[in-house]
Each structure stands twice: as structure tokens, then as C-alpha cells.
Structure 1
Amino acid sequence: MYRLFSRVPSGLLPMAKIVQAHIERMGNEVINQREARIHEEGEKDTNQDPNFVKALLSLHDKFVGVVNAQFEKNSLFHKALKEAFVEFVNKDVGKFKNADLLSSFCDRILKKGGEKLGDAEVENHLEKVREDRREGGR
């Protein structure tokens, strides 16, 4: 579809909007799952939620790969990815902001006892958080 719509003048814009809406839905689902765990399941709201941060990072990795591979790194789709992440990463759940959760995750992986990761894995996680924060606009 990408190759077909790229031949039409302004044909990729509607496609990019659809991709953006899809990414927003997926991201809002991650946000809603955290909200459900806190409010409905009674999970304690702390500034440590590595599963939530890992879910955001995984979602970002997935769609960066899609934009780069399937949409040939087209700037419209990179913009759609960025705008989608701005929408849902800036939705805070509970008493802690998502930025606090990301920084706590980084702090945890940098400490010796927090996560059992090698140097390369720590660097990889930190790079992903940096990219995710840049996409999120905070």
C-alpha cells in the first residue's frame, strides 16, 4: 500500500494519519493497563513501574522498526510516530508522572543491584529511554 499511495500526490498523508491513530490506540492501551492495575486491581502506585516503562519502550521499538522498514523512513511516518507518542506519553496515571517513572527506571538500571544487566544492555536501555523521551516531547 505504501508504494501504491506514494505514487499519488499527497497520497501518504491520509495513510500517515491512520498509522498515527493506530499507534495512539496501542499506546493508550498501555496507559489504560497501568491505570487498571492501580485503580481496579489495587496495585500500589509507586515511582517504580519497570513493566510499564518496558511496555512503552517495546512499543516504541516496534513502531520505529515499522516506520524504518515498511515506510522507508518517510518523514511523514516519523512525524506520525512522534505525534502519537506525544499524545499518550504525556498522559500521567496515578500520582507519579510518566517522566518520573522513566527516570526511576534509568536510575534503577544504573545501580548495581537494581537490574542484573551487562554494560551493553544498560546502554541499550538508556538509549531507548532517551529516544522514547524525545518522541514524547517532555
Structure 2
Amino acid sequence: MQFKVSPLTKIISLSVFLALGFLLVILSCALFHNYYPLFDILVFILAPIPNSIFGSRSYASSDFMSPSSNNGKDLGHFLTGMFVASGIALPLVFYHCQLIGSVSCAMSMIGGLIIYSSIVIFSWFFHSSWENDEDNLFG
């Protein structure tokens, strides 16, 4: 038996998950009267963009990004990994420089990872459901 979840349920659950991540990062700023962890939100929001840009095959106009090579996709993975590593390391650097406390550092890292994972899960859920809808329409 296959259990099918409606898209509205997916959107609501992922928005609650995303709101939890934003709540953790904003509380890490507001509770300790220090707003440096807000930079972490920016880094984690920018993280999935290289994969979405270089993941499609519509950019294959040059030899560097030809469909037979994975150079563009590898570059997207590298840049995404760099953003995620920077998002994890940024609160640690702020903590090391004594700009934020340890609790604020932990809340900011956990909240940022929740934000990034909810964006990735959202794109994964709806990319796979769009592919399945196209298969059902034409197959």
C-alpha cells in the first residue's frame, strides 16, 4: 500500500520546519542582544543556489559545460559545500572572537542547518513530484 501525501501537507510541514530554523537563529540574536548570527541566515539561504543553477542542463553552450562533462555540476556541488561549511564555521568564528556566546553559537548553527535542510527537502519533494506528474501525463 502506497501512502500519498498531498502537496499542501508537504508545504505546511516544511514551512513549520523552516520557521523553527528562523526562530532559533533570531532567538540566538535577540536573547543575547547580539545580531552577528543573522549573517548565518544569509549564508544558508545562498547555499542551495549553485546546485540549482548548475544542476540543470540548459546551460550547455560551451565546451566547459557540455552535457557529456560534469564540470558545471561539480562546480555547483563545490560552491554549495563551501557555503554550507561557511555557514557552520561562521558562528564558530564569531564564538572564537568572543562576539557571541556558546549558546548563541549552537542555536545559530542548528537553526541555519534547519533552514538549509528545509530548503533542500522542499526542492527535493517538489522536483520529484513534478517529474512524476510529467511521467503520468505523457506515459
* TM-score, length-scaled by structure 2: 0.37
**Highest RCO, 1 vs 2 (Cα 8 Å, sep ≥ 6):** 2
* TM-score, length-scaled by structure 1: 0.37
Bigger Rg over Cα: 2
